[in-house]
Amino acid sequence: MRIRHITEGDWDDIVALEAATYADGALSEGRAALRSRARSSPATCFVVDVGRQLAGYVLSLPYPVGQYPDLDREEEVVFHSRNLHLHDLVVGEAHRGDGLAGELLRRVTTAARAKRYQRISLVSVGGSEGFWSAHGFHALREIALPASYGPDAVYMSMPVAADPRPHRRNPSTIRRADHPRMTK
């Protein structure tokens, strides 16, 4: 396993992983929107390779607390915020449950600390709230989300100083269904 920054040659694989992950739910954004999010903060966007295969990716970018990307639009503004929004973390079906999501989260958290972000936020979708809670994120249900994020979407946040390793439940007790296939 190797985690690294996104390169130009990764986009076909990223788009394919994203499309496969969100095929059943209208959350797929397409290449232009995904690339625009990575352009906003290339230092906080990563891929994970297993062998010679791209097995997952994470896109995170600065966003004001309580706000989140519009799934139907490309990013046009780079926000100067102390909040890093983890917009999308996808691990391919063949590697879910292998710990890659946690490794990508640790890499994002390390980058956030190095860049002096104060918080990391995300929108949990697809039933992944348990995974994020186990990694230190707290639901902020008072933040309204548009229908485009799905009926079970929850805005979540944690301080950067928090340890991203599971601390509420033993990682071996996290059900496979709790592993994120979606975080938009």
Instruction: Judge whether residue 175 has pLDDT over 60.
Output: no
Instruction: Judge whether residue 162 has pLDDT over 60.
Output: no
Per-residue pLDDT, averaged over 127-138, amounts to 94
Reported as a pLDDT band with limits 50, 70 and 90, residue 72 is confident
Instruction: Judge whether 69 and 88 are in contact, CB under 8 Å.
Output: no
Query: Left if phi > 0, otherwise alpha if psi is -120 to 50, otherwise beta: which for 136?
Result: left
CA 159 to chain centre: 16
Per-residue pLDDT, averaged over 66-94, amounts to 94
33-60: b (≥16 Cβ within 10 Å) or e: bbbbbbebbeebbbbbebeeebbbbbbb
Instruction: Judge whether 116 and 44 are in contact, CB under 8 Å.
Output: no
Instruction: List alpha helices for 59-183, DSSP H.
Output: 100-114, 129-134
Q: What type of residue is 132?
A: W
E-strand stretches of the chain: 2-5, 46-50, 53-62, 83-91, 119-124, 138-139, 154-159
How high is the pLDDT of residue 174? 41
Distance CA 74, CA 142 (A): 26
How high is the pLDDT of residue 173? 39
For residues 130 and 172, which has the higher predicted lDDT (pLDDT)? 130
How high is the pLDDT of residue 121? 98
Write the DSSP symbol of residue 5. Answer: E
Instruction: Judge whether residue 165 has pLDDT over 80.
Output: no
Entry pTM? 0.86
Reported as a pLDDT band with limits 50, 70 and 90, residue 24 is confident
**Would you say how long the chain is, in residues?**
184
Per-residue pLDDT, averaged over 14-34, amounts to 88
Reported as a pLDDT band with limits 50, 70 and 90, residue 166 is low
Instruction: Judge whether 177 and 97 are in contact, CB under 8 Å.
Output: no
Q: What's the N-to-C CA distance of the chain in angstroms?
A: 24
Per-residue pLDDT, averaged over 11-27, amounts to 88
> Residue 111: CB partners within 8 Å, gap ≥ 6?
43, 44, 60, 84
- High-pLDDT (> 90) share of the chain, %: 75
How high is the pLDDT of residue 139? 97
